[in-house]
Structure 1
Amino acid sequence: MGEHMDFGNRTVIVTGGTGALGIAVVGALLDAGAQCRVPYLIDAEADSFPHRDRVTLVPRCDLTDESDVDRLYDGVSNLWASIHLAGGFGMGDLADTDKDSLMRMLNMNLVSCYLCCRRALAAFGPEGGRIVNVAARAALEPRQGAGTTAYTVSKAGVSALTQALAAEVVQQNVLVNAVAPAVIDTPANRAAMPRADHQRWPSPAEIAATVGFLAAPDNEVTTGGVVPVYGRA
C-alpha cells in the first residue's frame, strides 16, 4: 500500500474482508495502522481468515438485511472509511435468468453496497470519511457483459450509486469512489477459467493498493471516480 499510507488507529469497516481481495485489503490496512472491523456470513471463512486475531469480526452478518447492517456499524462513532468488497458473480444468458436470480444479483451487489453506504454516512465523524465500492469492468463497458447481464446491471448500479453519492456528500468531506476490476487472479477464478492467460490478471494485492489509496487520508481530491483496475487483461 506504500509507506506513506498512514491510517494511524483510524477505524475502517471492510465488507467481504474474508474473501481473496478482502484478505489483501485488510492486510494492507492493518500494516498501515488501521483498526479494521470485518463482517462475515460463513463460519469457515472466519475460521481460516489469516487476520482474525488482529481485527474485530462481526459474525453472521447479512449485508442485504438492514438490521444486520445496523449491527455492523453500531457503536462505531469515529468511522474513517467504509470499504465494500462484498458481492457475488453470476453467469447466465438473460433468457435463462429468472427474477429470483436477478434479485439475487441486485441484492448481493447493489443493495448491500447501498445499505452500507447509508450507514457509513451516519457513522463518519466531523472530519468526514472515505467510501470505496467495487464495480466491474462490465459496469463501465456493458457490451462486455454478454452472458452475465444480471451481474452487469447490478454492478452498473454500483457505479451510478458511487458517482451520484459522491456529488451528494462532497461538501461533507466524504469522498466516494469505486474500483472496477476485470478478472482478479484468485485460485477460484483460475479454476473457473483454466485456459485464460492468468499472468494478465491483476492480483488482489495490486487492486488492494488502489483501494487503499482511495480510502486513505492522503486522498484529498479524488471522488466520484470509478477507477479501472484491469491489469493487462
Structure 2
Amino acid sequence: MSVQFDFSDYVVLVTGAGGALGSATVEAFLDAGATVCAADVIGPDDEGYPLDPDQDRLRTYQADFTDEAAVQAAVEDIVAEHGRLDTLVTVAGTWQGGDPVEETSTETFDLLADVNVRTAFLAAKHVLPHLQTTGGSIVTVSSTSSLQGGSGDGLYRASKAAVRLLTESIAAENEGTVRANTVMPDVIDTPANREMMPDADHDVWVDPADIADVIRFLCSEVASPITGGAIPLDHSG
C-alpha cells in the first residue's frame, strides 16, 4: 500500500545525512515535498557522498555536530536562509564493539558518547527554540540493543539507551509544543554492515528506506498524537 505525505511547507534538518540511513531519510522527505537541510561532517565534495546536491529543495551543510559552535552556526545559517525549522532528525551515529567492558578503551567510550549522544543533544539544544515556535517535531535514532545488556558492545548499547532517554525527556519537557520520538532499528542493512558481517542473515536486517518511511510518518500530522515513543524496527520476528 502506498501512503502519500505532503511536507511541502516543512523545513527539515537531517544530521548524519552522508550515511546510508541519513541519505535515505533525506530522500524520503524530498519525495514528500519538504525543503531538506542535509548536514554531516562530510560534504558533497567528499568521495562516496551519497546525495546529489543539485536536487530541488536540497541544501547541504558541512558541520561537525560534536562541536557546539559549529552546530549553533549551522542552525543559525539554516534559519537565516529558510526563515524557520519544522523538523529535526538526528541520524548521526556510529558503532564500536567487540570487547568486554574491562577491555574497552576510553577512546571508544569518548567516540560513542560524542557521535551517538552529543550530536543528538547539541542538535536538539539549538533547534528546539525554533521548533517551539513552529510546533515542530524531533526524531532520533536509538537501537533495539538499547533495551537490554549484551556481550561485547556494552558502551554502544549504553549510548543508544542515552539517546532514547534523552528523547523521552525532550518529549516530557515539551508536551503540547514539540513532539519527540525515537526509532529503534535492529541491524540496518548497509554495505558497511554486510562487509562486517558477511555470514549473517541479511534478510532479517532493516532496510534504510523502510526506517526512513517510519521517521517521515512520525514527523507527519498523521502522527500528531505520538510523542515520547520508542518504536522498534525489527524483521527478525
* TM-score band w.r.t. shorter chain: over 0.9
Shift of 1:197: 0.6
1:152 alignment counterpart = 157
2:135 alignment counterpart = 128
Superposed, 1:61-210 pairs within 5 Å as 61-75=63-77, 76=79, 77-91=83-97, 92-124=99-131, 126-140=133-147, 142-143=148-149, 145-172=150-177, 174-210=178-214
Q: Which letter does structure 2 place at the counterpart of 1:198?
A: H
46-55 vs 189-198, which moves further = 46-55
What is the CA–CA distance in structure 1 between the aligned matches of 2:4 and 2:123, rounded to whole Å? 28
1:74-111 deviation line (CA, Å, top 9, x unaligned): 14141110000001110132122122221211111011
1:1-46 deviation line (CA, Å, top 9, x unaligned): 9543110131000001121011211111001000011112234557
1:57 alignment counterpart = 60
Residues 27 and 51 of structure 1 are in contact (CA less than 8 Å); yes or no, is this contact kept in structure 2? Answer: no
Shift of 1:146: 1.7
Shift of 1:49: 2.6
Q: Which letter does structure 2 place at the counterpart of 1:184?
A: I
TM-score, normalised to structure 2's length? 0.91
What is the CA–CA distance in structure 1 between the aligned matches of 2:76 and 2:223, rounded to whole Å? 26
Q: Which letter does structure 2 place at the counterpart of 1:34?
A: A
Residues 18 and 46 of structure 1 are in contact (CA less than 8 Å); yes or no, is this contact kept in structure 2? Answer: no
Q: Which letter does structure 1 place at the counterpart of 2:52?
A: H
Structure 1: which 5+ runs fail to align?
A: none
Mark the CA change 1:197 to 1:134 in structure 2 (over 3 Å): closer, same or farther: same
Aligned to 2:54, the other structure's residue is in SS state helix
For CA contacts below 8 A with separation 6 or more, give which structure has more relative contact order: 1
Shift of 1:125: 5.8
1:94-151 deviation line (CA, Å, top 9, x unaligned): 12212222121111101110111111111226341010000011112x22x3201111
Q: Are 1:232 and 2:232 matched, yes or no?
A: no
Shift of 1:71: 1.6
Residues 6 and 217 of structure 1 are in contact (CA less than 8 Å); yes or no, is this contact kept in structure 2? Answer: no
Q: Which letter does structure 2 place at the counterpart of 1:149?
A: G
2:49 alignment counterpart = 48
Q: Which letter does structure 2 place at the counterpart of 1:52?
A: P
Aligned-residue RMSD, C-alpha: 1.8
TM-score, normalised to structure 1's length? 0.92
What is the CA–CA distance in structure 1 between the aligned matches of 2:108 and 2:157, rounded to whole Å? 13
What is the CA–CA distance in structure 2 between the aligned matches of 1:51 and 1:36, rounded to whole Å? 12
- Percent of aligned pairs with the same amino acid: 35
Q: How many residues align?
A: 229
Aligned to 1:13, the other structure's residue is in SS state strand
Residues 42 and 49 of structure 2 are in contact (CA less than 8 Å); yes or no, is this contact kept in structure 1? Answer: no
Structure 2: which 5+ runs fail to align?
A: none
Residues 40 and 65 of structure 2 are in contact (CA less than 8 Å); yes or no, is this contact kept in structure 1? Answer: no
91-100 vs 146-155, which moves further = 91-100
Mark the CA change 1:46 to 1:210 in structure 2 (over 3 Å): closer, same or farther: farther
